[in-house]
Amino acid sequence: MNPAIRAMLSYSLRRRVGGVRFLGALAIALLPTLNLVLDVAFGDDPTRQFDLYLKYIVPICLYFVTPFVTMMTMLPVIGELYEKGAVGYIYTRPAPRWMPIFGLYLGGVSATLLVFFAAAFVPAAFGAIVTDAAPPGRWLSAAFGLFGTLALGGLAYGAICVFLGVWTRRAILWAAALLIGWGVLVGSSPGSLRETSLHYYLFGLARSWCGVAGDTFSGIFPPVVDPPTPLLSIVVLVVATVTFLLLAARCAERRDVM
Amino acid sequence: MSAPAIRCDGLCRWYGEVQGLSGITLEIGAGVAGLLGPNGSGKSTFMRLATGLISPNRGWVEVFGKRMDRPDRYEVFRRVGYAVGEDTHFESERAVDFLRMLAMLGGAGSEQAKDLADRALDRVVLTDRADTKLSGMSKGMRQRVKLAQALLFEPELLLLDEPLNGMDPVSRRSTLDLVRAWGASGRTVVFASHVLHEVEAVTERVVLLHHGRLLAEGLLAEIRELVDLRPRRVRLEGVGLAAMAAAALAEGIASGVTTHPSGAVHLETRQLPALLERLATSGASGAIHSMEIDDADLETLFALLLEESV
């Protein structure tokens, strides 16, 4: 790997994983697990915990964990360097600006994926070990499906956060509008508008990869009746990731470092 | 012929309504050049423009012949080291990791980056603090780390923005020595400061900025001569000063005398060296207990130059 990218990846990962925000993100990611723990402790139907994972934990992870964790871990990746003027140290090196930005993005995304890994696998491991609701293979398969979905969501939304960090000082407002407004709210609203939202494609993946059947998928939000295919979802999410990273690189060339 | 280290023409930069730099045209070649001006005069703006961190509203700046408002400007940073005016901001990093990261950003492999970082720390006498986090360092030490990162690749052009801020006397001296040596080796140093004697300590060549404008450019001695034409005040305390002052007045080396009830005497002169010679002779017997000369400090200098330019 290019030394410039590697240096920033390493710095970004250290910085993200070492901070209090990371613990906060981890706490958010593990919050849905609490529901499973409580159900095991106090619930009266010991066979429903796997359903709980699919119908409760998966959508909560998609609607709640994905945007908030991504915002917490990815927004400061480049935004804080601009805010403090520290980016001047990075941009006065013989490397085109997209390189450090890409390295910072990779480091931030790695930290985000660690959190998503915990969000998907901790409740699944708990369920597989403590309950008899489903064979361990099914728990593991669902967890892999959820992690894959969250990971692609993290890549795309992470790229949006990095772009916003480079583009504007008000990145947090824009991120809230894009990740929560455009992502969660538009993505869960009925009608064809939801097809413009990245969350719609995340649902397409989750339904397919987690093995959830038909409309029973979401007990909380309106069901995705006609979900996109996994291939289409992957293409849309990858295109969004690349597009926003290119935009970030372009913005970095133009934005003044004060 | 090789391009000068820095060349700019009609360089302008505004921050909204505020003028950061206005119509600067100059060339800076090998050696040490002092960029002198009070806070807000445009020194840091000039540095940022010269490193492409901000873009000019009008005009252009070239570093080693490369326009700094173009995307391919990064190539020139193989030859440039820049110590920004602000603090380091990578507080969570150890000094050696910070330098290593920046060395890798410059294209060095992991091991080479470590060697470069160690060498740079050695140069600013911080080897024993290599593993200290920047947050645990004094401001003076962080200043030295900033200097170290600018020196990583032995740059041909060194841009230092207020490098002595917060440094202790020993570090200041070693930094000034380093700057002089860098300039003497045929490379270029742009040394920005708002303190006249700091600039005087490293160079005779200055660029004076005031409110974003280029007020004067040239040898400090020439600018000093202008200052020396201005009446200077010498405050004396001691015994028998009235007679001494009267003699100086009669000889024409003092142009005015004010006697204070406390016994202190203020002399005004346009021939400071001659007056000092005269006072040294007269005061050798111990008649003069204390003497203060109003320094031709930055404010005086700028006030004078502004008067000249009106």
Spell out the domain ranges in chain B: 6-224, 232-309
pLDDT category at A224 given cuts 50, 70, 90 is: low
Establish if B66 touches chain A: CB-CB under 8 angstroms. Answer: no
Closest Cβ opposite residue A7 in set B71, B75, B101: B101
Residue to substitute from B47, B77, B84, B104, interface A, most A β-carbons within 10 A? B104
What distances in angstroms separate CA A11 from CA A130, A169, A237, one per listed residue? 38, 22, 26
Residue of B nearest to A255 (CA): B54
pLDDT at residue A215, rounded to an integer: 45
Beta carbons of A95 and B108 less than 8 Å apart: no
- Are A7 and B113 a contacting pair at CB < 8 A? yes
> What value does the mean pLDDT take over residues A45-66?
83
- In angstroms, rounded to a whole number, what is the distance separating the alpha carbons of residues B220 and A142? 75
For residues A163-190, give the mean pLDDT.
88
Given CB atoms, is B101 within the 8 Å cutoff of chain A? yes
Q: What is the pTM of this model?
A: 0.82
Are A86 and B90 in contact (CB < 8 Å)?
yes
B101 vs chain A: nearest CA distance in angstroms?
5
* Shared fold status for B6-224 and B232-309: no
In this complex, which of B89, B104, B106 lies closest to A6 when CB atoms are compared?
B104
Rounded to the nearest 5°, which phi and psi values hold at B7?
-140, 130
Beta-carbon contacts below 8 Å between A and B: 92
| Closest residue in chain B to residue A9, using alpha carbons only | B101
Q: Say which of B76, B90, B105 has its CB closest to residue A100.
A: B105
Strand order in the sheet with B205-210: B80-83, B157-161, B188-193, B31-36, B205-210, B213-219
Indicate the class that CATH gives domain B232-309. Answer: alpha beta
Q: How far is A76 from chain B (nearest CA, A)?
A: 13
The DSSP secondary structure of chain A, one letter per residue, reads --HHHHHHHHHHHHHHHTSHHHHHHHHHHHHHHHHHHHHHHH-S-TT-HHHHIIIIIHHHIIIIIHHHHHHHHHHHHHHHHHHHTTHHHHHTSSS-THHHHHHHHHHHHHHHHHHHHHHHHHHHHHHHHH--SS-HHHHHHHHHHHHHHHHHHHHHHHHHHHHHHHH-TTHHHHHIIIIIIIIIIHHHSSSGGGGGSHHHHHHHHHHHHTT--GGGG-SSS---SSPPPHHHHHHHHHHHHHHHHHHHHHHHHHS---
- Locate tokens 């001695």: which residue? B221
Q: What is the pLDDT of residue B166?
A: 74
Within chain B, strands assigned E span: 6-15, 18-28, 31-36, 58-63, 66-67, 80-83, 157-161, 188-193, 205-210, 213-219, 232-238, 256-259, 265-269, 288-293
Give me the sheet containing B232-238, strands edge to edge: B256-259, B265-269, B232-238, B288-293
Residue listed under structure tokens 């398969």: A141
Mean pLDDT of A154-166: 95
* Residues 75-94 of chain A whose Cβ lies under 8 A from any Cβ of chain B: 81, 84-86, 88-94
Q: What is the pLDDT of residue B50?
A: 93
Which structure tokens are listed for A174? 């824009």
Residue A182 reports pLDDT greater than 70:
yes
CATH superfamily membership of B6-224: P-loop containing nucleotide triphosphate hydrolases (3.40.50.300)
Look up residue B134 and give its amino acid. Answer: L
Which SS3 state, helix, strand or coil, does residue B18 take? strand
| Alpha carbon distance A35, A52 (integer Å) | 9
Cβ <8 Å between B107 and A3 = yes
Name the CA dihedral angle for B56, B71, B44, B159, rounded to a multiple of 10 degrees. -130
Q: Give the contacts of B291 (CB within 8 A, at least 6 positions apart).
A: B234, B235, B236, B237, B279, B283
- Tell me the pLDDT of chain B (310 aa) as tens digits: 577 899 999 999 998 888 888 889 999 999 999 998 888 889 999 999 999 999 999 999 999 988 998 888 888 998 999 998 877 678 888 999 999 999 999 888 989 999 999 999 999 888 999 899 988 888 888 889 999 999 999 999 999 998 888 777 677 888 899 999 999 999 999 999 887 778 888 888 889 888 888 888 888 777 766 666 667 778 888 887 888 888 888 888 888 888 888 778 888 887 777 887 787 777 655 677 777 766 555 666 677 666 665 5
